[in-house]
């Protein structure tokens, strides 16, 4: 019986006609290896950014619905061109947009979440021996409106399809060789990881690592979908994302830097029950992801509340915060976009005082002031001045020997 595999190709992998032809050859090879193949494709190169720029020249504040209508066209162009390239090589293929393969989502435009996928059309096309190409990043709401899943959403499309089709594996092709201990474009000598656990990858993805979208890792972990992250430009093995347990000493697995964040401070908030609930309930209902939160010590019956959000959500968060400020008689809202978040990640590190001490000492030695701290079982994050971010990223990597040739992480595969 043939296996189903899902392959996802990012924008850089299909960024030109020659690259699309290269992807076509890779897809056909996968089919010749006795697989049924479903391919998820992103928009070509910088197409999405170019569409956003065009929209801004026409309307500085377009509705989210119309932006979804516009941005979804990028993926539709990619899937049709890839289908043509595969047809040119005499292979049966069909391209499907989100509506045609019935990727159902909620109605939150620009940040939609997949609720269900009707696989009837995909399975019937596979049974006919065709390669099926699916537009990533998009779906359809109950109102029959086109929705998009947010930047990086094609990863989520691919893993969701792999889960519902019970695929053997999901291969994510990108412009890097796999998952590194840190961003190789910033940190010289960052090491390529052979494998990484779902939990560690989820933390790295959530903390600014740009290789995988966090929601795709969540889905892969939930449904135990084996993920492989590799380059579409060479034949390297890439990085396997799977269940991995440490067997010896806890070590830092990777260091990430997120420069796409902003810090919001609501000053002199009345010290009374329900204030924090009102703020974060509104943010939650608007699907705004809040990361780090700090409430300062009470003084004269008022508090300061600070939290971080993604830069793309800042305009909406400002509006919500200002409306709440007026209702609760807080003093003012302070927005700080000159911050970044640096994080160390590794299973169990939050329980190691040595790791925390070494991390904080590294920042101290650079003269970096820590504005906020957040921990979980497998990460420690600090908000710092953005100007110091990249320098700190390189320095922390060196301190934890993540760039050394003899870096080893002892592990076993479950």
Answer whether residue 289 shows pLDDT above 90: no
Task: Give the C-alpha separation, 65 to 28, whole Å.
Answer: 36
Q: Going by C-beta distance under 8 Å and a sequence separation of 6 or more, which residues neighbour residue 371?
A: 263, 339, 382, 383, 384, 385
- Tens digit of each residue's pLDDT (9 = 90 or more) over 368-395: 999 999 888 888 999 999 999 999 999 9
Helix (H) or strand (E) holding 148: strand 146-148
Answer whether residue 250 shows pLDDT above 60: no
- pTM for the model stands at 0.80
Average pLDDT over residues 239-249: 67
Number of Cβ atoms within 10 Å of the Cβ of 123: 15
Q: What percent of the chain has pLDDT over 90?
A: 52
CA distances 201 to 176, 221, 251, Å, are 16, 10, 15
DSSP state of 289: P
157 vs 184, higher pLDDT: 157
At 208 the pLDDT is 57
At 244 the pLDDT is 66
Task: Give the C-alpha separation, 171 to 372, whole Å.
Answer: 36
Average pLDDT over residues 260-275: 88
Q: Could you tell me the two tokens for 378?
A: 């497998």
Answer whether residue 408 shows pLDDT above 70: no
The answer to whether the CB of 291 falls within 8 A of the CB of 309 is: yes
At 400 the pLDDT is 86
Answer whether residue 58 shows pLDDT above 50: yes
Radius of gyration of the chain (CA): 23
Task: Give the C-alpha separation, 314 to 319, whole Å.
Answer: 9
Cα torsion through 395, 205, 240, 123, rounded to 10: -160
Answer whether residue 246 shows pLDDT above 80: no
410 vs 166, higher pLDDT: 166
Q: Could you tell me the two tokens for 181?
A: 């201990």
Answer whether residue 356 shows pLDDT above 80: yes
- Tens digit of each residue's pLDDT (9 = 90 or more) over 88-100: 999 999 999 999 9
CA distances 376 to 38, 222, 298, Å, are 36, 19, 25
HEC profile of 39-94: EEECCCCCHHHHHHHHHHHHCCCCCHHHHHHHHHHHHHHHHHHHHHHHHHCCCCEE
DSSP state of 116: E
Which residue carries 């300062």 as its tokens?
A: 296
The domains of the chain, with CATH numbers, are 3-175 (3.40.1160.10)
Q: Are strands 103-105 and 114-117 parallel, antiparallel or unpaired?
A: antiparallel
């Amino acid at each position: 019986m043939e296996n189903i595999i899902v392959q996802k190709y990012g924008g850089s992998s299909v960024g030109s006609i020659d690259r699309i032809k290269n992807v076509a050859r890779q897809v056909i090879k996968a089919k010749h290896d006795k697989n049924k193949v479903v391919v998820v494709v992103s928009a070509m190169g910088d197409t999405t950014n170019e569409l956003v720029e065009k929209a801004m020249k026409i309307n500085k504040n377009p509705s989210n619905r119309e932006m979804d209508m516009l941005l979804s066209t990028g993926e539709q162009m990619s899937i049709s061109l890839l289908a043509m390239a595969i047809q040119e090589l005499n292979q049966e293929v069909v391209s499907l947009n989100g509506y045609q393969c019935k990727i159902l989502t909620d109605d939150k435009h620009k940040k939609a979440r997949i609720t269900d996928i009707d696989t009837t059309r995909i399975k019937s096309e596979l049974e006919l021996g065709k390669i099926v190409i699916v537009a990533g990043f998009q779906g359809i709401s109950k109102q029959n409106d086109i929705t998009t899943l947010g930047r990086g959403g094609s990863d989520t499309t691919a893993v969701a399809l792999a889960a519902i089709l019970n695929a053997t594996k999901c291969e994510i092709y990108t412009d890097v060789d796999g998952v590194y201990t840190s961003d190789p474009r910033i940190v010289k000598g960052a090491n390529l990881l052979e494998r990484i656990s779902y939990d560690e990858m989820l933390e790295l993805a959530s903390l600014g690592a740009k290789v995988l979208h966090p929601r795709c890792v969540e889905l892969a972990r939930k449904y135990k979908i084996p993920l492989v992250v590799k380059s579409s430009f060479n034949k390297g093995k890439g990085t396997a994302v799977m269940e991995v347990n440490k067997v010896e000493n806890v070590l830092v697995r990777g260091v990430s830097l997120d420069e796409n964040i902003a810090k919001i401070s609501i000053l002199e908030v009345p010290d009374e029950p329900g204030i924090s609930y009102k703020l974060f309930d509104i943010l939650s209902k608007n699907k705004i992801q809040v990361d780090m939160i700090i409430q300062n010590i009470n003084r004269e019956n008022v508090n300061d509340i600070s939290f971080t959000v993604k830069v793309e959500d800042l305009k909406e968060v400002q509006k919500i915060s200002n409306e709440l400020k007026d209702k609760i008689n807080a003093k003012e809202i302070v927005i700080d976009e000159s911050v970044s978040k640096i994080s160390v990640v590794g299973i169990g590190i939050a329980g190691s005082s040595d790791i925390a001490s070494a991390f904080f000492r590294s920042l101290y030695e650079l003269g970096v002031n820590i504005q906020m701290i957040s921990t979980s079982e497998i990460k420690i994050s600090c908000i710092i001045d953005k100007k110091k971010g990249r320098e700190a990223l390189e320095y922390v990597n060196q301190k934890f020997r993540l760039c050394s040739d003899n870096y080893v992480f002892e592990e076993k595969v479950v």
